[in-house]
Chains A and B, each alone.
Chain A
Amino acid sequence: MCGIAGRILSASGNVGADLVDLMEAQRHRGADSTGFAVYGPPVDEGYIVRAMGLDRDALSADLESFLEIAREHGSDFLADPTWDNASTKHVSVRMRIKDPKDLGAFTRAADTISARLAVQSVGRSLEIIKDLGGAEDVSQKHNVRDMKGTHGLGHARLATESDVSPTASHPFWARPFADVAIVHNGQITDYFTWRDKLERAGYRFMTGNDSELIAVWISDQMSKGLTKEQALKKSITSIDGVFTYLISDTEGMGFAKDKFAMKPLVTVERNGELAAATEEQAVRKIYQGEVDIINYDGPSMMNSWLVDPVRQAA
Chain B
Amino acid sequence: MSETVITVGDRHIREVHREIQAAAEQGGHIVLKDARSRHNLGVALPAGANLHFEGSVGYYCGGLNNGATITVERNAGWGVGEAMASGDITVGGYAGMSCGASMLGGVVHVKGDAGPRCGVAMKGGDIIVEGKIGYLSGFMAHAGRIIALGGADDACADSLWGGEVWVAGPIKSLGVDSKAIEPRPDEVASIEELLRSRGINDASRDWKKIVSGEKLWHFESRDANAWLMI
Contact = CB atoms under 8 A, between A and B. Distances in A.
B153 A288 contact: no
Interface in A273-314: 279-281, 284, 288, 290, 293, 295, 297-299
A253 B183 CA distance: 48
A56 B82 CA distance: 49
B56 A299 contact: no
Given A279-B77, A299-B116, A284 B96 contact: no
Contacts of A298: 115-116, 134-135, 153
B36 A281 contact: yes
Nearest to B115: A297
B182 to A, nearest CB: 29
B55 interface: yes
Contacts of A261: 97, 116, 134-136
B166 interface: no
Contact of B74 (A279, A290, A299): A290
A264 interface: yes
A240 B58 contact: no
Contacts, number: 53
A290 B55 contact: yes
A280 B38 CA distance: 8
Q: Is the interface of A mostly helix, strand, loop or mixed?
A: loop
Contacts of B55: 290
Interface in B111-157: 115-116, 134-136, 153-154
B78 interface: yes
Contacts of A293: 37, 56, 75
Contacts of B135: 261, 298-299
Given A261-B116, A298-B116, A299-B154, A288 B36 contact: yes
B59 A240 contact: no
Contacts of B94: 295
B230 interface: yes
Interface string A162-192: 0000000000000000000000000000000
B39 interface: yes
Interface string A236-266: 0000100000000000000000010100100
Q: Which 10 A-B pairs have the closest CB atoms?
A: A297-B115, A280-B37, A281-B37, A281-B58, A261-B116, A284-B36, A284-B37, A299-B135, A290-B55, A281-B38
Interface of A: 240, 259, 261, 264, 279-281, 284, 288, 290, 293, 295, 297-299
28 contacts: A261-B134, A261-B136, A264-B78, A264-B96, A264-B97, A279-B39, A279-B58, A279-B59, A280-B37, A281-B36, A281-B38, A281-B39, A281-B77, A288-B36, A290-B55, A290-B56, A290-B74, A293-B37, A293-B56, A293-B75, A295-B96, A297-B96, A297-B97, A297-B116, A297-B134, A298-B115, A298-B135, A299-B135
